[in-house]
Amino acid sequence: MDATDGPRVVQLGLGDAPACLLLSTEAHWNQSEEDWRFFLREGVVLGIRDGSQLVATAALLPYSDDNAWISMVLVTTSHHRRGLATRLVDACLQTARKRGLTSWLDATPAGAAVYGPLGFSPTLQLRRLRLETSGQGFAPAPLAAPLDALCARDRRAAGFDRTALLSAFAQRPGSRIVSTNGAIALIRDGRTARHIGPLFANDATGALALVDAITRSESGPILLDAVASHDAFLAGLTKAGWTIERPFQRMRLGLAPAASAELPFAVAGPEFG
Ligand SMILES: CC(C)(COP(=O)(O)OP(=O)(O)OC[C@H]1O[C@@H](n2cnc3c(N)ncnc32)[C@H](O)[C@@H]1OP(=O)(O)O)[C@@H](O)C(=O)NCCC(=O)NCCS
Protein backbone atom coordinates (compact mmCIF):
# COMPACT_ATOMS: atom_id res chain seq x y z
CA MET A 1 0.00 0.00 0.00
CA ASP A 2 3.03 2.28 -0.14
CA ALA A 3 2.59 5.27 -2.37
CA THR A 4 5.01 6.42 -4.97
CA ASP A 5 3.51 9.89 -4.80
CA GLY A 6 1.63 11.65 -2.01
CA PRO A 7 1.40 10.67 1.63
CA ARG A 8 1.85 7.05 2.67
CA VAL A 9 -1.28 5.05 3.41
CA VAL A 10 -0.83 2.50 6.20
CA GLN A 11 -3.07 -0.20 7.63
CA LEU A 12 -3.90 0.55 11.27
CA GLY A 13 -4.02 -1.97 14.12
CA LEU A 14 -5.84 -2.32 17.44
CA GLY A 15 -3.19 -0.16 19.16
CA ASP A 16 -4.32 2.79 17.00
CA ALA A 17 -7.84 2.81 18.51
CA PRO A 18 -7.18 5.77 20.88
CA ALA A 19 -5.71 7.89 18.02
CA CYS A 20 -8.66 6.98 15.78
CA LEU A 21 -11.06 8.00 18.54
CA LEU A 22 -9.40 11.44 18.70
CA LEU A 23 -10.35 11.98 15.03
CA SER A 24 -14.01 10.94 15.40
CA THR A 25 -14.29 12.98 18.60
CA GLU A 26 -12.86 16.04 16.81
CA ALA A 27 -15.70 15.67 14.29
CA HIS A 28 -18.19 15.43 17.23
CA TRP A 29 -19.16 11.91 16.16
CA ASN A 30 -20.67 9.42 18.62
CA GLN A 31 -18.38 6.42 18.09
CA SER A 32 -16.76 4.86 21.14
CA GLU A 33 -13.32 3.27 21.31
CA GLU A 34 -15.18 -0.07 21.29
CA ASP A 35 -16.63 0.85 17.87
CA TRP A 36 -13.14 1.57 16.56
CA ARG A 37 -11.86 -1.72 17.96
CA PHE A 38 -14.62 -3.51 16.01
CA PHE A 39 -13.49 -1.84 12.75
CA LEU A 40 -9.83 -2.56 13.52
CA ARG A 41 -10.56 -6.18 14.39
CA GLU A 42 -13.12 -7.10 11.70
CA GLY A 43 -12.30 -4.68 8.89
CA VAL A 44 -9.43 -2.92 7.15
CA VAL A 45 -8.72 0.53 8.63
CA LEU A 46 -6.36 2.68 6.62
CA GLY A 47 -4.67 5.80 7.90
CA ILE A 48 -2.28 8.61 7.06
CA ARG A 49 0.16 10.01 9.61
CA ASP A 50 1.93 13.36 9.71
CA GLY A 51 5.03 12.54 11.73
CA SER A 52 3.68 10.49 14.62
CA GLN A 53 0.19 12.05 14.51
CA LEU A 54 -2.65 10.12 12.86
CA VAL A 55 -4.35 12.76 10.67
CA ALA A 56 -6.77 10.77 8.48
CA THR A 57 -8.63 7.45 8.45
CA ALA A 58 -11.01 5.35 6.35
CA ALA A 59 -12.40 1.89 7.08
CA LEU A 60 -13.64 -0.97 4.89
CA LEU A 61 -15.87 -3.42 6.74
CA PRO A 62 -16.62 -6.61 4.77
CA TYR A 63 -20.08 -8.18 5.20
CA SER A 64 -21.39 -11.40 3.66
CA ASP A 65 -22.32 -11.96 0.00
CA ASP A 66 -19.51 -9.76 -1.37
CA ASN A 67 -20.66 -6.51 0.24
CA ALA A 68 -18.62 -4.06 2.29
CA TRP A 69 -19.25 -0.81 4.13
CA ILE A 70 -16.84 2.13 3.82
CA SER A 71 -16.90 4.57 6.73
CA MET A 72 -14.95 6.47 9.36
CA VAL A 73 -13.62 8.78 6.62
CA LEU A 74 -12.10 11.46 8.81
CA VAL A 75 -9.42 14.06 8.22
CA THR A 76 -8.22 16.38 10.99
CA THR A 77 -9.24 19.98 10.23
CA SER A 78 -5.67 21.27 9.72
CA HIS A 79 -5.23 18.73 6.87
CA HIS A 80 -8.51 19.26 4.98
CA ARG A 81 -8.56 19.79 1.20
CA ARG A 82 -5.19 18.14 0.55
CA GLY A 83 -6.73 15.08 -1.07
CA LEU A 84 -6.28 12.80 1.98
CA ALA A 85 -9.89 11.56 2.10
CA THR A 86 -9.89 10.88 -1.64
CA ARG A 87 -6.64 8.98 -1.33
CA LEU A 88 -7.88 6.83 1.56
CA VAL A 89 -11.26 6.04 -0.01
CA ASP A 90 -9.45 5.15 -3.23
CA ALA A 91 -7.24 2.75 -1.26
CA CYS A 92 -10.35 1.19 0.35
CA LEU A 93 -11.89 0.80 -3.11
CA GLN A 94 -8.76 -0.91 -4.44
CA THR A 95 -9.02 -3.41 -1.57
CA ALA A 96 -12.75 -3.89 -2.29
CA ARG A 97 -12.10 -4.38 -6.01
CA LYS A 98 -9.39 -6.97 -5.34
CA ARG A 99 -11.87 -8.92 -3.22
CA GLY A 100 -14.75 -8.39 -5.69
CA LEU A 101 -16.85 -6.48 -3.14
CA THR A 102 -19.71 -4.04 -3.75
CA SER A 103 -18.97 -0.95 -1.63
CA TRP A 104 -21.61 0.95 0.29
CA LEU A 105 -21.45 4.06 2.44
CA ASP A 106 -23.67 6.60 4.18
CA ALA A 107 -22.25 10.01 3.35
CA THR A 108 -22.43 13.31 5.19
CA PRO A 109 -22.93 16.22 2.75
CA ALA A 110 -19.16 16.92 2.90
CA GLY A 111 -18.44 13.23 2.31
CA ALA A 112 -20.82 13.00 -0.66
CA ALA A 113 -18.71 15.69 -2.37
CA VAL A 114 -15.70 13.36 -2.09
CA TYR A 115 -17.48 10.10 -3.10
CA GLY A 116 -19.47 11.28 -6.14
CA PRO A 117 -16.34 11.85 -8.25
CA LEU A 118 -15.08 8.38 -7.21
CA GLY A 119 -18.09 6.80 -8.96
CA PHE A 120 -20.54 6.22 -6.08
CA SER A 121 -24.23 6.60 -6.94
CA PRO A 122 -26.92 7.70 -4.47
CA THR A 123 -29.44 5.17 -3.16
CA LEU A 124 -31.67 5.93 -0.17
CA GLN A 125 -31.63 8.94 2.14
CA LEU A 126 -31.29 8.88 5.93
CA ARG A 127 -31.96 11.47 8.62
CA ARG A 128 -30.01 11.63 11.88
CA LEU A 129 -32.40 12.53 14.69
CA ARG A 130 -31.69 13.39 18.31
CA LEU A 131 -33.90 13.41 21.36
CA GLU A 132 -32.38 15.66 24.00
CA THR A 133 -34.63 15.08 26.93
CA SER A 134 -35.98 11.60 26.95
CA GLY A 135 -37.86 10.01 29.86
CA GLN A 136 -36.35 9.77 33.29
CA GLY A 137 -35.70 6.09 32.76
CA PHE A 138 -38.41 5.11 35.25
CA ALA A 139 -40.73 3.26 32.86
CA PRO A 140 -40.13 -0.48 32.48
CA ALA A 141 -38.09 -1.42 29.42
CA PRO A 142 -39.97 -3.06 26.53
CA LEU A 143 -39.74 -6.85 26.42
CA ALA A 144 -36.30 -8.27 25.66
CA ALA A 145 -36.03 -10.04 22.30
CA PRO A 146 -33.54 -12.64 21.05
CA LEU A 147 -30.51 -11.74 18.93
CA ASP A 148 -31.50 -14.38 16.35
CA ALA A 149 -34.78 -12.58 15.62
CA LEU A 150 -32.95 -9.27 15.08
CA CYS A 151 -30.31 -10.86 12.83
CA ALA A 152 -32.96 -12.58 10.69
CA ARG A 153 -34.90 -9.36 10.21
CA ASP A 154 -31.68 -7.45 9.47
CA ARG A 155 -30.68 -9.97 6.83
CA ARG A 156 -34.05 -9.62 5.08
CA ALA A 157 -33.59 -5.86 4.94
CA ALA A 158 -29.88 -5.58 4.14
CA GLY A 159 -29.70 -8.55 1.79
CA PHE A 160 -26.53 -9.68 3.58
CA ASP A 161 -25.58 -11.14 6.94
CA ARG A 162 -24.41 -8.93 9.81
CA THR A 163 -24.55 -11.41 12.69
CA ALA A 164 -20.95 -10.60 13.71
CA LEU A 165 -21.77 -6.90 14.03
CA LEU A 166 -25.09 -7.32 15.81
CA SER A 167 -23.64 -9.94 18.18
CA ALA A 168 -20.76 -7.62 19.06
CA PHE A 169 -23.23 -4.80 19.79
CA ALA A 170 -25.47 -7.10 21.83
CA GLN A 171 -22.59 -8.28 24.01
CA ARG A 172 -21.61 -4.77 25.10
CA PRO A 173 -22.63 -3.59 28.56
CA GLY A 174 -25.66 -1.33 28.22
CA SER A 175 -26.95 -2.93 24.99
CA ARG A 176 -30.54 -4.18 24.78
CA ILE A 177 -32.61 -5.85 22.08
CA VAL A 178 -36.29 -5.10 22.63
CA SER A 179 -39.55 -5.83 20.86
CA THR A 180 -43.24 -4.88 20.91
CA ASN A 181 -46.04 -5.74 18.46
CA GLY A 182 -43.82 -7.07 15.71
CA ALA A 183 -41.30 -4.21 15.98
CA ILE A 184 -37.73 -4.96 17.12
CA ALA A 185 -34.73 -2.74 17.83
CA LEU A 186 -31.27 -2.66 19.34
CA ILE A 187 -30.11 0.11 21.68
CA ARG A 188 -26.43 0.61 22.48
CA ASP A 189 -24.09 3.10 24.11
CA GLY A 190 -22.19 5.70 22.12
CA ARG A 191 -19.52 8.19 23.19
CA THR A 192 -21.99 10.92 24.11
CA ALA A 193 -25.45 9.50 23.39
CA ARG A 194 -27.33 6.18 23.31
CA HIS A 195 -28.20 4.96 19.81
CA ILE A 196 -31.34 3.16 18.60
CA GLY A 197 -30.81 1.00 15.54
CA PRO A 198 -31.35 -1.08 13.62
CA LEU A 199 -35.12 -0.89 14.08
CA PHE A 200 -37.60 -2.96 12.09
CA ALA A 201 -41.40 -2.74 12.24
CA ASN A 202 -44.44 -3.71 10.22
CA ASP A 203 -45.59 -0.08 9.97
CA ALA A 204 -44.88 3.43 11.25
CA THR A 205 -47.32 3.05 14.15
CA GLY A 206 -45.44 0.00 15.42
CA ALA A 207 -42.06 1.70 14.94
CA LEU A 208 -43.19 4.83 16.81
CA ALA A 209 -44.68 2.78 19.66
CA LEU A 210 -41.40 0.93 20.14
CA VAL A 211 -39.34 4.15 20.04
CA ASP A 212 -41.72 5.68 22.58
CA ALA A 213 -41.41 2.68 24.91
CA ILE A 214 -37.62 2.77 24.62
CA THR A 215 -37.31 6.50 25.29
CA ARG A 216 -39.55 6.29 28.36
CA SER A 217 -37.21 3.71 29.83
CA GLU A 218 -34.03 5.63 28.97
CA SER A 219 -32.46 8.80 30.30
CA GLY A 220 -30.07 11.17 28.51
CA PRO A 221 -29.65 11.99 24.84
CA ILE A 222 -30.56 9.40 22.19
CA LEU A 223 -29.73 9.25 18.48
CA LEU A 224 -31.51 7.42 15.67
CA ASP A 225 -30.80 7.26 11.91
CA ALA A 226 -34.18 7.02 10.20
CA VAL A 227 -34.80 5.95 6.60
CA ALA A 228 -36.18 9.20 5.15
CA SER A 229 -38.80 7.59 2.92
CA HIS A 230 -40.74 6.52 6.05
CA ASP A 231 -42.57 9.89 6.10
CA ALA A 232 -45.08 9.03 8.84
CA PHE A 233 -42.29 7.72 11.08
CA LEU A 234 -40.26 10.92 10.65
CA ALA A 235 -43.32 13.10 11.21
CA GLY A 236 -44.19 11.14 14.38
CA LEU A 237 -40.66 11.45 15.73
CA THR A 238 -40.46 15.21 15.19
CA LYS A 239 -43.90 15.59 16.79
CA ALA A 240 -42.57 13.67 19.81
CA GLY A 241 -39.68 16.13 20.20
CA TRP A 242 -36.90 14.54 18.11
CA THR A 243 -34.89 17.05 16.06
CA ILE A 244 -33.30 16.37 12.68
CA GLU A 245 -29.55 16.98 12.96
CA ARG A 246 -28.33 16.15 9.46
CA PRO A 247 -29.00 14.14 6.35
CA PHE A 248 -26.96 11.17 5.16
CA GLN A 249 -26.95 9.95 1.58
CA ARG A 250 -26.56 6.18 1.14
CA MET A 251 -24.33 5.49 -1.89
CA ARG A 252 -23.18 2.36 -3.67
CA LEU A 253 -20.33 1.44 -6.00
CA GLY A 254 -20.74 -1.93 -7.66
CA LEU A 255 -23.49 -4.39 -8.44
CA ALA A 256 -26.97 -3.75 -7.03
CA PRO A 257 -28.26 -6.57 -4.82
CA ALA A 258 -31.74 -8.07 -5.26
CA ALA A 259 -34.45 -5.72 -3.97
CA SER A 260 -34.70 -6.09 -0.19
CA ALA A 261 -37.78 -7.67 1.40
CA GLU A 262 -38.26 -4.77 3.80
CA LEU A 263 -36.76 -1.38 4.60
CA PRO A 264 -35.58 -0.76 8.15
CA PHE A 265 -37.15 2.18 9.98
CA ALA A 266 -33.76 3.03 11.49
CA VAL A 267 -30.35 1.72 10.44
CA ALA A 268 -27.51 0.48 12.67
CA GLY A 269 -25.68 3.76 12.03
CA PRO A 270 -24.11 5.51 9.05
CA GLU A 271 -20.77 3.96 9.91
CA PHE A 272 -22.18 0.41 9.83
CA GLY A 273 -25.07 0.77 7.38
C1 LIG B 1 -15.29 15.14 4.41
C2 LIG B 1 -13.79 15.05 4.69
C3 LIG B 1 -13.44 13.61 5.04
C4 LIG B 1 -13.03 15.47 3.42
O5 LIG B 1 -11.64 15.26 3.64
P6 LIG B 1 -10.55 15.99 2.73
O7 LIG B 1 -9.26 15.25 2.89
O8 LIG B 1 -10.56 17.42 3.03
O9 LIG B 1 -11.17 15.73 1.28
P10 LIG B 1 -10.34 15.82 -0.10
O11 LIG B 1 -9.21 16.79 0.06
O12 LIG B 1 -10.00 14.44 -0.55
O13 LIG B 1 -11.47 16.45 -1.03
C14 LIG B 1 -11.71 16.00 -2.36
C15 LIG B 1 -12.78 16.84 -2.98
O16 LIG B 1 -14.01 16.68 -2.29
C17 LIG B 1 -14.72 17.95 -2.25
N18 LIG B 1 -14.82 18.37 -0.85
C19 LIG B 1 -14.10 17.97 0.23
N20 LIG B 1 -14.54 18.57 1.35
C21 LIG B 1 -15.57 19.36 0.99
C22 LIG B 1 -16.44 20.23 1.69
N23 LIG B 1 -16.34 20.40 3.01
N24 LIG B 1 -17.38 20.90 0.98
C25 LIG B 1 -17.49 20.74 -0.36
N26 LIG B 1 -16.68 19.92 -1.08
C27 LIG B 1 -15.74 19.24 -0.42
C28 LIG B 1 -13.90 18.90 -3.08
O29 LIG B 1 -14.33 18.79 -4.40
C30 LIG B 1 -12.52 18.33 -2.94
O31 LIG B 1 -11.68 18.66 -4.00
P32 LIG B 1 -10.89 20.08 -4.01
O33 LIG B 1 -10.27 20.28 -2.65
O34 LIG B 1 -9.89 19.88 -5.10
O35 LIG B 1 -11.93 21.10 -4.31
C36 LIG B 1 -13.37 16.00 5.85
O37 LIG B 1 -13.90 17.28 5.60
C38 LIG B 1 -13.85 15.54 7.22
O39 LIG B 1 -13.16 14.79 7.93
N40 LIG B 1 -15.05 16.02 7.59
C41 LIG B 1 -15.67 15.64 8.88
C42 LIG B 1 -16.09 14.18 8.86
C43 LIG B 1 -16.94 13.78 7.65
O44 LIG B 1 -17.94 14.42 7.31
N45 LIG B 1 -16.51 12.68 7.00
C46 LIG B 1 -17.23 12.14 5.86
C47 LIG B 1 -18.13 11.09 6.32
S48 LIG B 1 -19.14 10.45 5.03
Does any ligand 1 atom lie closer than 6 A to the CB of residue 109? no
Q: How high is the pLDDT of residue 134?
A: 57
pLDDT above 70: residue 62:
yes
Whether pLDDT at 2 is above 50: no
- Ligand 1 pocket check: which of 23, 72, 80 to mutate, most ligand atoms within 8 Å of Cβ? 80
pLDDT in the model for residue 259: 74
Looking at the structure, do residues 168 and 237 belong to the same domain, yes or no?
yes
How far, in Å, CA of 207 to CA of 205, rounded?
5
- Average pLDDT rounded to a whole number, residues 215-226: 94
What's 181's domain CATH number?
A: 3.40.630.90
Rounded Cα distance, 107 and 9, in Å: 22
Alpha helix locations (H) across 81-146? 84-98, 109-115
**Structural domain includes residue 107:** no
Residue where a domain terminates, one of 82, 100, 118 = 100
pLDDT given for residue 117 in this prediction: 93
pLDDT (tens digit per residue) in 157-212: 998 999 999 999 999 999 999 999 999 999 999 999 999 999 999 999 999 999 99
Q: How far is CA 79 from CA 49, 54, 174, 270, in A?
A: 11, 11, 36, 23
pTM listed for this prediction? 0.94
Residue 74 belongs to what domain range? 9-100
Q: Which 3 state secondary structure label does DSSP give 167?
A: helix
In ligand 1, the atom with minimum distance to the C-alpha of 75 is 39
Which residue, judged by its Cα, is nearest atom 4 of ligand 1? 85
Backbone angles phi, psi at 102, to 5 degrees: -80, 130
Q: Are residues 83 and 140 in the same domain?
A: no
- Residue 108 covered by a domain: no
Residue 225 CB-density burial (10 A; 0-12 exposed, 13-18 middle, 19+ buried) = buried
**Separation of 96 CA from ligand 1 center, angstroms?**
21
Q: Are residues 94 and 207 in the same domain?
A: no
Dist CA 85 CA 117 (whole Å)? 12
- Is residue 178 included in any domain, yes or no? yes
Q: Domain total for the chain? A: 2
Q: What is the pLDDT of residues 110-153, one digit of tens each?
A: 999 999 999 999 999 999 999 986 556 677 778 899 999 999 99
Ligand 1 pocket test: pick from 72, 75, 84, 108 the residue with the most ligand atoms within 8 Å of its Cβ: 75
Same-domain status, 262 and 132: yes
